Each structure stands twice: as structure tokens, then as C-alpha cells.
Amino acid sequence: MAVRAIRGAIQLDVDEREHLLACTRELVTEVLRANDLPTDDLISIVFTVTADLRSEFPALAARELGLPVVIMARPPLPARIQVVTSVAEATEWVQRRRSR
């Protein structure tokens, strides 16, 4: 039996319950479809959640679809950790590091 791990992520425009659940349902459904994965073949789906999301746990969307779920909450990042939220910011960060 093959075991696979597939990663997906969403970025929300706003932390609103229905928006979060709709985006999560869309992601989970599309990942299963794109990888031709029958739900009976799933062992579990692992969800991690950043501390800024408070409206709902994304895993609820998968549970509502009848899928096996594991939830992990990420702790807030220490202030010294720089966070980038776009490819452009990541590119700038890498270029600054290279020029040191």
C-alpha cells in the first residue's frame, strides 16, 4: 500500500468563519480531485492553524465533508522572526540576505 503526503495551503482575505470554511472546503475538494484520491483511502488530513485565525478551525470544513482530521495549532511567532506574506516580499528578503 502506498502512503502519500500532499500539502496545500490557503491564505484568507479576512478571518471570517464562512470565508475560512468555504476556502478550506475548496482546497480539500480540489486536492482530492487533482490527486484522484478516494476518501476511503485517507488515513488523516493534518491541519495547522496560525495564531491569527480565530473565527473557526479550518478542519471543521473537512469534518463536515466526513473526512478524518488532525488539528495542530501553531504558537505565535517570536517578535524576532520576520514574516513575509508574498512572493515579492520573499524575493526581496532573499536578495537582501545575498547582498550581506
CATH assignment of the domain containing 44:
3.30.1330.40
Q: Could you give the CA distance from residue 35 to residue 27 in angstroms, rounded to a whole number?
A: 12
Given this model, what pLDDT does residue 34 score? 95
The kind and range of the H/E element at 98 are: helix 87-98
Q: Is residue 65 part of a domain?
A: yes
Q: How many CB atoms lie within 10 A of CB 61?
A: 22
In a domain? residue 9: no
The answer on pLDDT for 49 being more than 80 is yes
> What average pLDDT score do residues 5-15 get?
90
Higher pLDDT, 23 or 76: 23
Q: Is the pTM of this model over 0.85?
A: no
Write out pLDDT tens, residues 12-25. 989 999 999 999 99
- Residues 6 or more apart whose CB falls under 8 angstroms from that of 57 comprise 47, 49, 71
Question: pLDDT class for 56, splitting at 50, 70, 90?
Answer: very high
Residue 35: pLDDT above 90? yes
Domain assignment of residue 46, yes or no: yes
| Position 45 in a domain | yes
Q: Range of 49's domain?
A: 17-98
Contact 61, 34 (CB under 8 A): no
Does 56 reside within a domain? yes
Question: Does a structural domain hold residue 7?
Answer: no
**Mean pLDDT on 88-98:** 89
Residue bearing cell 528578503:
93
In a domain, 1, yes or no: no
The span from the first CA to the last CA of the chain, in angstroms, equals 48
Residue 61 has pLDDT above 90, yes or no: yes
User: Is the Cβ–Cβ distance between 64 and 17 less than 8 Å?
Assistant: no
Q: How far apart are CA 40 and CA 49, in angstroms?
A: 25
Q: How many domains does the chain have?
A: 1
Query: Is residue 43 one of the residues assigned to a domain?
Result: yes
